[in-house]
Amino acid sequence: MSKKLDEKFSKLDSSAQVLLKLRHTSEHVLHAAMQNLFPQLKKAMGPATDEGFYFDFDLDQKISEDLFPEIEKEMQKIINTKAKMVHENITPEAAKKLFSKNPYKLEWLSDIQKRGESVSIFRMIDPSGDEIDVDLCSGPHLDSVDQIKAFKLLTVAGAYWHGDEKNKMLTRIYGTCWPTQRELDEYLNRLEEAKRRDHRIIGKDLNLFVFSDLVGKGLPLLTSKGATIRRELERFVVDEELKRGYQHVVTPPLAKTELYKTSGHYPYYKDTMYPVMKVDEEELILRPMTCPHHFMLYKSSGHSYKELPIRMAELSPQFRYEKSGELTGLMRVRMFSLADAHIFATKDQAKQVISEVLDLIQFANEIFGMTKGEDYRYRLSLGDRKDDKKYFKDDAAWDLAEDVLREVLTERHEPFFEAPGEAAFYGPKIDVQVKKISGHEETAFTVQYDFVMPKRFDLKYTDNEGKEAQPIVIHRSSIGAFERTMAFLIEKYAGAFPTWLSPIQAIVIPISDKHLDYANGLYDQLKKQGIRVELNDKNEPLNARIRDAEMQKIPYILVVGDREAEQNTVSVRSRSQKGQNVVPVSEFVEKIKSEIFNKALA
Amino acid sequence: MSKKLDEKFSKLDSSAQVLLKLRHTSEHVLHAAMQNLFPQLKKAMGPATDEGFYFDFDLDQKISEDLFPEIEKEMQKIINTKAKMVHENITPEAAKKLFSKNPYKLEWLSDIQKRGESVSIFRMIDPSGDEIDVDLCSGPHLDSVDQIKAFKLLTVAGAYWHGDEKNKMLTRIYGTCWPTQRELDEYLNRLEEAKRRDHRIIGKDLNLFVFSDLVGKGLPLLTSKGATIRRELERFVVDEELKRGYQHVVTPPLAKTELYKTSGHYPYYKDTMYPVMKVDEEELILRPMTCPHHFMLYKSSGHSYKELPIRMAELSPQFRYEKSGELTGLMRVRMFSLADAHIFATKDQAKQVISEVLDLIQFANEIFGMTKGEDYRYRLSLGDRKDDKKYFKDDAAWDLAEDVLREVLTERHEPFFEAPGEAAFYGPKIDVQVKKISGHEETAFTVQYDFVMPKRFDLKYTDNEGKEAQPIVIHRSSIGAFERTMAFLIEKYAGAFPTWLSPIQAIVIPISDKHLDYANGLYDQLKKQGIRVELNDKNEPLNARIRDAEMQKIPYILVVGDREAEQNTVSVRSRSQKGQNVVPVSEFVEKIKSEIFNKALA
């Protein structure tokens, strides 16, 4: 194992280490099996991943998923041999002989040779001493292949060598492996569920957003329905933040390149920034973050300690260049809008301010129906005192900032773990780690402690003795980027949003044309109350119209016929309850209004 | 007068023609006076404008406004000569001799010579036959200078020759001239008032927005206070439009250049668009308008005639390159956000749809306190059947569209006038013409009838016979661009916004520390009711704190002392009424809430 990989591996907890070995060895079994079945195949590469493994290879034959049973059978045969995984270090020269017919391995070997390193290989040796397979590999691996108890091949796809579209397109097989069959089954169920909830599919089915070739990649267009969800989220964030003492501002989504050079972002972000635009004598660029804009606003007037903390927030459009292969629905886009804020505070206020930020994050998560410790937890991302290149050098300031964040998390009894070397270049941070349906954990957004930018931008306030002092800055989001949050919520609710977020909150369906007057009156009444209501008087059978409303996941279907018209009632089919319920119109109105007002979960 | 100028002149009504002659002749009197006072001066150019005239000249001496009385005296002397303005056409050769010492005139003359035209000059000849002045000029002019009865010099500024910063900086004197002294006085008063209300000054005084050299020119940053006004305006527009059947969408503020080539905007707008950004294989550009984005959304699904009209709206960020010399506070910026919409309708629906748009515009204007016919009126901007280069060729479609717009305006008895040759390239439009404080009329935004884009983008719907048909599109705004509307409202209200728009709606001022508890309670109570309230408990005299609140133009100043604390009342100083008024807290809360809810004018 290389030093870098070794370090990474040693950071994993023991169960994660076991999983990694299991999956990496499974990959070797896969490539050995493929080599047996397709002797002309050239192995390219194949790592373990967080959820399994994959194997890239060069083969002139198309591999379809229909072949998976056969390949899995061949894999099982190899597992049954109980072969050992044997590690060896050899010279590059010896390795070049060993892999002389494989251009991919030879390319790796040239790189290793340039670095003057020895070559790590793993041999798969069966109990009779025969070599089943040998591959360039840093490991680590299981001792023997028969420790693999539960694996499955998942999908096949194309993949460019080195991920570069200028290179040859290889074939990639994805698989997974778990310690037990039960865990494998659970994982496959989660995968199935994640597919069913895929926001790209639901987004299309419910007509929430579209993409357009003429507009460009990674630039979603929100339909009226998608935009409604977004507007509800935006107003929720703004209103809640205003209540909590934030000031909302509006700054332009572009600025002179110089601004990002001053902030120090430019060298870190320039590969993910859009190209510079020359306008007269100015060089403008779309912003990859909001911080320097807020610093400019802060600096536009003087500040006394009495004003601090100043909580400056914005629904901030930002632009990042993402590789086209990495663009994924609303989850990974080239332009997003962050519920962003920068809190200017004295050092003494830091703990209190961060604690208040966690209060807000937890409040929002509760509204979304997320349970702390189950659906999300925190990661304390720390700096690295030895890495002066990435991190601003000021050991004392790093120590202090990390202590503050750790103390807040500890004193609040928050569920968190520490991650050395994951800090931002300007300070440590608390990452909000959200568990996705697939079981995979992702950083949704962060709370960062910054002592570097205030220096770079020469931020100031007048302290209680009338002297000049420097504030610290807490960078934070409250619910993250609206695009990602929407993707996440679509998947969480599988499109059945709580009423307050539902694009259509209720639909009126008259049984026949006779009831159209009453239906229209009901529709008007609900609309006047600010409820997002529709009326379906299409010339279609009642059941078809009810089914259509169910497919649209509308929280309340209001069927009206003779009885309802006579008694001024409505027959309510609630998405969350079976059957139907006839209630006076006024009762239904009160119920749905209170549900919306309270942002109740469905 | 050249043919082009002649056409423009003939389009003016007679009083405007008189004003133009008056001002143009005044400019000649000014330059003659300057020539008398500074014989070494070189005249460059000097036109009449909508509000007066200006004169650009090359002189090595700095001219300050202190000299204006002396210059005006010299001008009056010339007026007193009763000199005639005599027109003459001469050959370019003769003209070159006449102006041989003036490089600016020689440059004009070369251009005229290239075009093979004769040269129009005006001589100023006094009754004794002496020539006071001669200048290159297309006219028209008054018959004699003594028809000038009321003029005034206003300001002096620098101006580049041809407006190009690569050229020499000249001196420019602005002046104005009116038929009578009374009209001049009125104009000067309006000018004074406009200065007092200048949104750039009030914006600074009330801390509504700032600019930053590091961010870039023409890119305002809205402070919390400015952003509050903007948010109120945005929510007002969105809520009102939703009520009126609009769907709000969110589309990206950039797209592939191809999109604007398809729409046909590119050739018309490319000089005012930002530079292209190359991202992978795509050429992206910041959008100068929203239409093609909305067309992409419309095209993303099929449409039946039953769905029409579809009213697609957006708070749409847009980017236009404006020359740095033309940037003016929030009025003229390089990025703005338009309350935009595109209504997809059948031809038959056009009249009804346009009428509904005018209803909305009038509703919004009423909310802002604008009286139709006084503060604003409409301009019907027509195409030009002879101009195939600018306008899409389809005479029948133009006739129809113009008739529809004219009929709507006529049937509604709207105050409007017609302006031939002012249409958009894709159809005629109704411009909302707003009168500024200075008396000057400006187009705030427009309602356009478009039959060209639906063709270009192949927009479709299925008609009531199941056949494919093409919708028309109405492009419209409801309140224009938020930046400009804010600038306009700041000037209209001179910063004293109606309560619903005021960044701070009420301020609590305790008479002394004794009353701090009661003041805090009152503050909390108002805040809980959603009122934007502040508390001023600074260690400053009561009067100073009241004065400060008045300077900030806060609608309600709530002073609390012993009596108020005892009786649970509040002493209210309303911005709109003299004196103060002691009322129970609950009564004040009801009053201010209803004022906010009703968006009452102050």
pLDDT tens for A280-299 read 888 999 999 999 999 999 99
Residue window 254-313, chain B: list those with CB within 8 Å of chain A: 254-256, 258-259, 262, 274-275, 277-280, 282, 284, 286, 292-293, 296-297, 300-301, 312
- Does residue A203 fall inside a structural domain? no
Measured between CB atoms, which of B215, B227, B292 is closest to A250?
Answer: B227
CB contact under 8 A, B210 and A274: no
Q: Are residues A405 and A273 part of one domain?
A: yes
Predicted local distance difference test score (pLDDT) of residue B9: 61
Of residues A145, A38, A23, A147, the one with CA closest to residue A81? A145
The two beta strands, B506-510 and B533-535, are: parallel
The pLDDT confidence band at residue A12, using thresholds 50, 70 and 90, is: low
Burial class, A384, CB count within 10 angstroms (exposed 0-12 / middle 13-18 / buried 19+) = middle
Q: Are residues B239 and B179 part of one domain?
A: no
Contact list in A for residue B279 (CB cut-off 8 A) is 216, 274-275, 321, 334
Average pLDDT of chain A is 93
Residue A602 predicted with pLDDT over 80 = no
Tally of CA atoms within 13 A in the half-sphere of A76 that contains its CB: 11
CB-based contact, B566 to chain A, within 8 Å: no
- Does residue B482 fall inside a structural domain? yes
Rounded to the nearest angstrom, the minimum Cα separation between B98 and chain A is 39
Q: What is the CA radius of gyration of chain A?
A: 29
Measured between CB atoms, which of A214, A226, A284 is closest to B296?
Answer: A214
Q: Are residues B533 and B488 part of one domain?
A: no
Predicted local distance difference test score (pLDDT) of residue B269: 79
Residue window 179-208, chain B: list those with CB within 8 Å of chain A: 207
Predicted local distance difference test score (pLDDT) of residue A439: 77
CB contact under 8 A, A277 and B274: yes
CA dihedral for A246, A250, A255, A258, sign (positive or negative): negative
Per DSSP (E only), the strands in B243-370 are: 246-248, 254-256, 277-279, 282-286, 310-319, 335-345
The DSSP secondary structure of B241-267, one letter per residue, reads HHHTTEEE-B--SEEEHHHHHHHTHHH
B248 is in an annotated binding site: no
What's the mean pLDDT in A162-186? Answer: 91
Higher pLDDT, B252 or B92: B252
Q: Are residues B283 and B404 part of one domain?
A: yes
Q: Residue A580 corresponds to which amino acid?
A: Q
Contact list in A for residue B255 (CB cut-off 8 A) is 214-216, 219
Predicted local distance difference test score (pLDDT) of residue A1: 43
- Does residue B206 fall inside a structural domain? no
Contact list in B for residue A210 (CB cut-off 8 A) is 296-297, 300
CA dihedral for A313, A314, A315, A319, sign (positive or negative): negative
- Does residue B205 fall inside a structural domain? no
CB contact under 8 A, A219 and B255: yes
Residue window 311-340, chain B: list those with CB within 8 Å of chain A: 312, 317, 321, 324, 334-335
Q: Residue A587 corresponds to which amino acid?
A: E
Q: Are residues B263 and B143 part of one domain?
A: no
Which pair of tokens denotes residue B28?
A: 């000649």
B342 is in an annotated binding site: yes
Q: Are residues B399 and B364 part of one domain?
A: yes
Residue A216 predicted with pLDDT over 80 = yes
Which of these three, A196, A222, A246, is where a domain ends?
Answer: A196
Which pair of tokens denotes residue B260?
A: 């604007």
Which pair of tokens denotes residue B130?
A: 């002496």
Average pLDDT of chain B is 93
Which of these three, A454, A469, A493, is where a domain ends?
Answer: A493
Rounded to the nearest angstrom, the minimum Cα separation between B485 and chain A is 16
- Does residue B222 fall inside a structural domain? no
Q: Are A499 and A596 in contact (CB under 8 A)?
A: yes
- Does residue A73 fall inside a structural domain? yes
Q: Which residue has the tokens 């209501």?
A: A533
Chosen for mutation from B164, B249, B286, B314 (greatest number of chain A CBs closer than 10 Å) is B249
How far is residue A90's CA from residue A473's CA, in Å, rounded to a whole number?
52
Q: Are residues A275 and A399 part of one domain?
A: yes
Predicted local distance difference test score (pLDDT) of residue B264: 80
CB contact under 8 A, A214 and B259: yes
> Alpha carbon of B22 to those of A328, A369, B50, B145, B178: distances in Å?
66, 73, 12, 9, 7
Rounded to the nearest angstrom, the minimum Cα separation between A547 and chain B is 21
Burial class, B456, CB count within 10 angstroms (exposed 0-12 / middle 13-18 / buried 19+) = middle
Please tell me whether the interface predicted TM-score (ipTM) of this complex is above 0.90. no
- Closest-CA residue of B relative to A226 is B249
The pLDDT confidence band at residue B12, using thresholds 50, 70 and 90, is: low
CB contact under 8 A, B293 and A221: yes
How far is residue B394's CA from residue A50's CA, in Å, rounded to a whole number?
62
Provide the b/e sequence for B490-516 (b: ≥16 CB within 10 Å): bbbbebbbbbbbbbbbbbbbbbeeebe
Residue B340 predicted with pLDDT over 90 = yes
- Does residue A217 fall inside a structural domain? no
Rounded to the nearest angstrom, the minimum Cα separation between B398 and chain A is 29
Q: Where are the alpha helices (DSSP H) in B426-479?
A: 453-456
Q: Are residues B316 and B191 part of one domain?
A: no
What's the mean pLDDT in A85-94? Answer: 92
Predicted local distance difference test score (pLDDT) of residue A6: 59
Provide the CATH number for the domain around residue A38. Answer: 3.30.980.10
Q: Residue A42: how many CB atoms within 10 A of its CB?
A: 17
Beta bridge partners of A150: A178
Q: Are residues A489 and A535 part of one domain?
A: no
CB contact under 8 A, A250 and B230: yes
Q: Are A444 and A319 in contact (CB under 8 A)?
A: no
Which pair of tokens denotes residue B435?
A: 């009168």
B291 is in an annotated binding site: yes
Predicted local distance difference test score (pLDDT) of residue B51: 87
Which of these three, B439, B465, B493, is where a domain ends?
Answer: B493
Q: Are B207 and B225 in contact (CB under 8 A)?
A: yes
- pLDDT tens per residue across span B189-248: 989 988 999 999 999 999 999 999 999 999 999 999 999 999 999 999 999 999 999 999
- pLDDT tens per residue across span A495-513: 999 999 999 999 999 999 9
Which helix (H) or strand (E) segment holds residue A317: the answer is strand A310-319
The DSSP secondary structure of B51-72, one letter per residue, reads S-EEEEEE-SSPP-GGGHHHHH
Residue A478 predicted with pLDDT over 60 = yes
Predicted local distance difference test score (pLDDT) of residue B165: 77
Q: Are B423 and B409 in contact (CB under 8 A)?
A: no
Which helix (H) or strand (E) segment holds residue B17: the answer is helix B14-37
Predicted local distance difference test score (pLDDT) of residue A234: 98
The pLDDT confidence band at residue B549, using thresholds 50, 70 and 90, is: very high
How far is residue A13's CA from residue A23's CA, in Å, rounded to a whole number?
16
Measured between CB atoms, which of A215, A224, A300 is closest to B293?
Answer: A215
How far is residue B285's CA from residue B269's CA, in Å, rounded to a whole number?
12
- Does residue A593 fall inside a structural domain? yes
Which helix (H) or strand (E) segment holds residue B565: the answer is helix B562-567
Of A351-365, A389-403, A546-560, give the lowest mean pLDDT range.
A389-403
How far is residue A415's CA from residue B453's CA, in Å, rounded to a whole number?
56
- The domain of B584 spans 506-597
Measured between CB atoms, which of B215, B216, B248 is closest to A231?
Answer: B248
The two beta strands, A246-248 and A310-319, are: parallel
Provide the CATH number for the domain around residue A583. Answer: 3.40.50.800
How far is residue A452's CA from residue A458's CA, in Å, rounded to a whole number?
10
| 3 state DSSP class of B327 | coil
CB contact under 8 A, A214 and B256: yes
The pLDDT confidence band at residue B375, using thresholds 50, 70 and 90, is: very high
The pLDDT confidence band at residue A8, using thresholds 50, 70 and 90, is: low
Residue A436 predicted with pLDDT over 80 = yes
Give the count of domains, chain A: 3
CB contact under 8 A, B256 and A227: no
Determine what percent of chain B is predicted with pLDDT higher than 70.
98
Measured between CB atoms, which of A207, A216, A252 is closest to B255?
Answer: A216
Q: What are phi and psi of B304, to 5 degrees?
A: -105, 155
Measured between CB atoms, which of B220, B230, B248 is closest to A224?
Answer: B248
Q: Are residues B558 and B459 part of one domain?
A: no
Provide the CATH number for the domain around residue B415. Answer: 3.30.930.10
Predicted local distance difference test score (pLDDT) of residue A11: 63
CB contact under 8 A, B215 and A312: no
Q: What are phi and psi of B462, to 5 degrees?
A: -95, 125
CB-based contact, A539 to chain B, within 8 Å: no
Chosen for mutation from B166, B208, B276, B297 (greatest number of chain A CBs closer than 10 Å) is B297
pTM of the shown model: 0.87
Burial class, A87, CB count within 10 angstroms (exposed 0-12 / middle 13-18 / buried 19+) = middle
Residue B358 predicted with pLDDT over 80 = yes
Residues 6 or more apart whose Cβ sits within 8 Å of residue A577: none
Tally of CA atoms within 13 A in the half-sphere of A476 that contains its CB: 26
Q: Are residues B339 and B250 part of one domain?
A: yes
- pLDDT tens per residue across span B495-527: 999 999 999 999 999 999 999 999 999 999 999
Q: Are residues B101 and B178 part of one domain?
A: yes
What's the mean pLDDT in A557-581? Answer: 92
